[in-house]
Amino acid sequence: MKVAMCDPSLFTGRYDDSLCAAMAGEGAEVALLGRPMRATDAIVPRGYRYEPRFFRRSEALRRRMGEGRAFRLLKAAEYGLSCVLGDLAPLAGADVAHMQWLPLAPADRIMLRRLKGRTALVHTVHNADAYHADAGVQGRGYRGLLDMFDALIVHGGTTREALERQGVDPKRIHVIPHPPMRLAPAGAEDLAQVPDAILPRLLFFGTIRPYKGVDLLLEACLSLWRAGHRFELALAGKPFMDIAPLIERVRAAGFGERLITDLAFLTEQRLDAHMAKADILVFPYRHIDSSGAFLSALHHGKAMVTSDAGMFADLPEGVAARTPAGNAPALAQALLPLVESAAIRQALGARARTYGDSMGNWKDMALATIAIYRGVTGK
């Protein structure tokens, strides 16, 4: 089975790498097609090929241009041109073209039309609401693209039900649970770059976007700090929203020394170091289907606090402290016993680790994915 796995922007590089390696281990011939790798990427292909097919020109100019509006427009133009006129042989020549992400729906429609009938088309729907409705033109028309695929893969009942409500044929939807992931482990240098905790430390990590609720977390923390509770909050990841007013609000309230910020695209090793030095990991998302960040953190055995959105609503009781999505006061109440009691933190963290150990693995996911490929190709 020849597979072209496609994630043009490497939105989920760790996921892509884990799945491709597992499928290669089961005998599939796999190529992962993405952009040129950056210093922050930690992909080391094992048994599969990596091909930087997308964004080669814009990535070459990224350091010089920065990542502002001009760079984003250049990326969109380059991607659009590749979809309309680019060489699609690496995709069309495979038995299956598996699209992990569709970065620009209007351009992706053209590419999919060019591929239709030349290879089987499979898409993993990581979020039923494309880019969590934050993407504007990037996701406009995404729903229409779903009808062009022979099979759709989702990671849970929440996404399946959302697609069915949107009119997607249930026979084309396949549920494969998302296994836990492990980021590249932190070394001594990575750990040295993250300050040791002086007080119990909360951590919010990963890209910072409006749907992830960092504003709710800061509001909850401020209420607890004002009430005299002592703990730290670390924010680690690149903001895709203006968080300067939120940080200034914390400083103006006199709690700036309680806030640790590491605001950039961080290596997996640096993120792993942040998780190692935190006591509580917080996922206050307003909406989500599945969370790779949550699944990558389970093995650390840290206390988890989540909203009840998407996959979090289906977690077994006791795996995480769960709060209503969008409710900062409820989030504060869930955090309070954890910042006050090491014993409660340790017990909740142990349950999180045990839950992660009980979940499926990438071999299981690879076998289930290959079975879907066989179903749509007849091979």
Structural tokens at position 217: 């977390």
- Our count of domains for the chain comes to 2
What's the CA gap between 178 and 129, in Å, rounded? 18
Are 84 and 233 members of one domain?
A: no
Is residue 357 predicted with pLDDT exceeding 70?
yes
Quote the pLDDT of residue 68. 85
Are 136 and 202 members of one domain?
A: no
Is residue 281 predicted with pLDDT exceeding 90?
yes
Are 214 and 343 members of one domain?
A: yes
Are 233 and 120 members of one domain?
A: no
Are 13 and 125 members of one domain?
A: yes
Are 109 and 208 members of one domain?
A: no
Quote the pLDDT of residue 134. 56
What confidence tens digit (pLDDT) does each residue in 20-57 have?
999 999 999 999 999 999 988 989 999 999 999 999 99
Q: Among residues 358, 374, 357, which one has the least CA distance to residue 366?
A: 374
At 133, is the pLDDT very low, low, confident or very high (cuts 50, 70, 90)? low
Are 93 and 193 members of one domain?
A: no
Are 28 and 168 members of one domain?
A: yes
Quote the pLDDT of residue 96. 98
Are 112 and 240 members of one domain?
A: no
Are 143 and 256 members of one domain?
A: no
CATH number at residue 5: 3.40.50.2000
At 177, is the pLDDT very low, low, confident or very high (cuts 50, 70, 90)? very high
- Could you list the residue range(s) of the whole structural domain that residue 49 is in? 1-178+359-375
Quick one: average pLDDT of 128-156?
81
Quote the pLDDT of residue 135. 55
Quick one: average pLDDT of 92-108?
96
Quote the pLDDT of residue 131. 61
Quick one: average pLDDT of 320-339?
98
Q: Among residues 355, 259, 263, 252, which one has the least CA distance to residue 300?
A: 355
Are 12 and 157 members of one domain?
A: yes
Quote the pLDDT of residue 123. 98
pTM of the entire structure? 0.88
User: Are 35 and 8 spatial neighbours (Cβ–Cβ below 8 Å)?
Assistant: yes
Are 297 and 163 members of one domain?
A: no
Quote the pLDDT of residue 199. 97
What percent of the chain is modeled with pLDDT above 90? 87
